């Protein structure tokens, strides 16, 4: 199994559990002077972790 197939299976698993797939984010965050780059991948969804509603719902995968 190569990297692309593994990623595809990972995404498909969560989609089968009613998660919505969201788009990839840039490694350089926009409008956020608190960090110079995305380290864990969580920075782009901080507003949603802090309680704002994500436009695609509560169950998302990337």
Instruction: Indicate the SS3 state at residue 48.
Output: helix
pLDDT at 41 over 90: no
For residues 32, 34, 38 and 40, what is the CA-based torsion angle, rounded to 10 degrees?
-130
pLDDT at 12 over 70: yes
Q: Which pair of structure tokens corresponds to residue 47?
A: 């507003």
pLDDT confidence of residue 14: 95
Tell me the C-alpha distance between 17 and 60, whole Å: 10
* Total number of domains in the chain: 1
Task: List the beta bridge partners of residue 60.
Answer: 20
Q: Which pair of structure tokens corresponds to residue 21?
A: 């797939």
pLDDT confidence of residue 48: 82
Q: Which domain holds residue 36?
A: 3-61
User: For the chain, how many residues are written?
Assistant: 62
Reported pTM: 0.60
């Amino acid at each position: 199994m190569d990297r692309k197939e593994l990623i595809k299976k990972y995404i498909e698993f969560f989609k089968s559990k009613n998660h919505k797939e969201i788009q990839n984010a840039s490694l350089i965050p926009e409008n956020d002077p608190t960090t110079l780059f995305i380290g864990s991948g969580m920075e782009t969804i901080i507003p949603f972790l802090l309680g704002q509603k994500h436009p695609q719902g509560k169950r998302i995968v990337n």
